[in-house]
Structure 1
Amino acid sequence: MDGISTVTAAELITEIGDIRRFSNADKLARFAGIAPVRFSSGGKGKDHASGQGNRVLNAIFHNLAVQQIQVAKGKNKRQRNPLMYEFYQRKLAEGKTKKQALICVMRRLVNIIYSMMKHKTEYRVAMLTERQAS
């Protein structure tokens, strides 16, 4: 995956350990502190970002998310990962803040990396047509 170097991959493997200890991607997101925590009382509640979890793993996913939505400077303004950039822009259009949209990208990265590690596959980029990218 673009943005994941050998060092970052090694950090992910070190922090996650054996992927089989997580039954699904939701458990990995919870372990990384990316999944929201529900605070409620009297039938009313809100979801808040978790301050718990593996902070090193959370930082790795945060840095990956920022890299995935980056846009190159200069004339061409090319996105590093057009699919993630489009997903991020869609979340902003839905009314989410930049921080919330970035957390959505982080969560999607957790799903992708969990699947890659679980099934021992490499990342395959889905091709966007010109019309889908616009």
Structure 2
Amino acid sequence: MPGVGIRTAARLLLDIGDGTAFPTAGHLAAYAGLAPVTRRSGSSIRGEHPSRGGNKHLKRALFLSASAALHDPDSRAYYDRKRAAGKKHNAAIICLARRRVDVLHAMLRNSSYYQPWTPAAA
């Protein structure tokens, strides 16, 4: 996967393992602290905010690997779309990290290697 080096891969495998503990990619994202959290109190709902919880080491590894993946054309295009939608840099990187969690979960679930997306494969 672009942006994942030896140390980052070791951190991901250390924290995630084989991925069987996470039935969906959303569960993995919530464990990493990348899923948004809705703040509620009684009848007032204050919207969705970034999570302050989760596994800090895993969240940092995913954030840094998403930053390093900006050299990849597909990741850069996704990041640029988020920036054009009005998100700031850190928010766009977190969106990219969350998207990469989906790919990572699929790779662990299917026991497959990373394959870049191509229109012919879709």
Give the TM-score of the pair, scaled to structure 2.
Answer: 0.89
1:16-95 alignment, distance < 5 Å: 16-41=16-41, 42-69=43-70, 80-95=71-86
| Secondary structure, counterpart of 1:67 in structure 2 | helix
Give the SS at the match of 2:77: helix
Q: Secondary structure at the match of 2:53?
A: coil
Question: In structure 1, how many angstroms separate the alpha carbons of the residues matched to 2:107 and 2:21?
Answer: 15
Q: CA deviation at 1:102?
A: 1.0
Q: Answer 1 or 2: higher relative contact order, Cα 8 Å, separation at least 6.
A: 2
2:107 and 2:18 mapped to 1: Cα distance? 13
Equivalences for residues 8-19 of structure 1 within 5 A: 8-19=8-19
Which ranges of structure 2 fall in alignment gaps of 5 or more residues? none
Task: Write out the 4+ residue segments of structure 1 that deviate beyond 6 Å after TM superposition.
Answer: none
Whether contact under 8 Å (2:32, 2:59) holds in the other structure is yes
SS at match of 2:30: helix
User: Which region of structure 1 is more displaced relative to structure 2, 55-64 or 4-13?
Assistant: 4-13
For residue 51 of structure 1, what is the amino acid of its counterpart? R
How many correspondences in the alignment? Answer: 118
* TM-score for the superposition, normalised by structure 1: 0.81
Give the secondary-structure state (helix, strand or coil) at the position aligned to 1:19: coil
Identity of aligned residues (%): 34
| Residues 86-131 of structure 1: per-residue CA shift (max 9 Å, x gap) | 1011011111121211111010010011111111111111248xxx
Give structure 1 stretches of 5+ with no counterpart. Answer: 70-79, 129-134
Structure 2: how far apart are the matches of 1:48 and 1:107? Answer: 14
Partner of 2:88: 97
How far, CA to CA, are the matches of 2:68 and 2:52 in structure 1? 22
Q: Which amino acid aligns with 2:81?
A: R
* Distance in structure 2 (CA, Å) of the matches to 1:3 and 1:65: 6
1:68 is aligned with what amino acid? A
Q: Give the root-mean-square deviation of aligned CA atoms.
A: 1.5
The residue identity in structure 1 corresponding to 2:89 is K
**Which structure 2 residues correspond to residues 104-115 of structure 1 after superposition, within 5 A?**
104-115=95-106
Between the aligned partners of 1:38 and 1:44, the Cα distance in structure 2 is 7
